[in-house]
Amino acid sequence: MGVHEGGPYVVTELLEGETLRERLAGGALPPRKAIEYALQIAHGLAVAHEKGIVHRDLKPENLFVTKHGRVKILDFGLAKLTHVTATFRSPTPPAEDGGLKAATTSEETEVAGTQPGTVLGTVGYMSPEQVRGKSTDHRSDVFSFGAILYEMLSGRRAFQRDTAAESMTDILKEEPPDLPSSAQVPLALDRIVRHCLERNPEERFRSAYDLAFALENISGVSSPGTAPQIVERKRWLQAARLRWALALAAAALLIGVFAAGMWLGSSRARPTSWSGVLLVEAIACSPDARTIYYSASKSVFV
CB atoms inside a 10 Å sphere around CB 15: 14
Say if residues 211 and 192 touch (Cβ distance below 8 Å). yes
Helices (H) and strands (E) in the chain, counts: 8, 11
CA-to-CA separations, 230 to 62, 78, 195, 224, in angstroms, rounded: 36, 42, 21, 12
Torsion sign over Cα 66, 26, 20, 39: negative
- Measured in whole angstroms, how far is the alpha carbon of residue 151 from the centre of its chain? 18
Taking the C-alpha atoms of residue 254 and residue 231, their distance in angstroms, rounded to an integer, is 35
CB atoms inside a 10 Å sphere around CB 88: 11
Query: Is 57 tagged catalytic?
Result: yes
Say if residues 81 and 109 touch (Cβ distance below 8 Å). yes
Provide the pairing of β-strand 2-4 with 7-9.
Answer: antiparallel
Of residues 57, 141, 170, 190, which has the active-site annotation?
57
Amino acid at 222: S
Taking the C-alpha atoms of residue 132 and residue 205, their distance in angstroms, rounded to an integer, is 21
Q: Name the residues annotated as catalytic.
A: 57
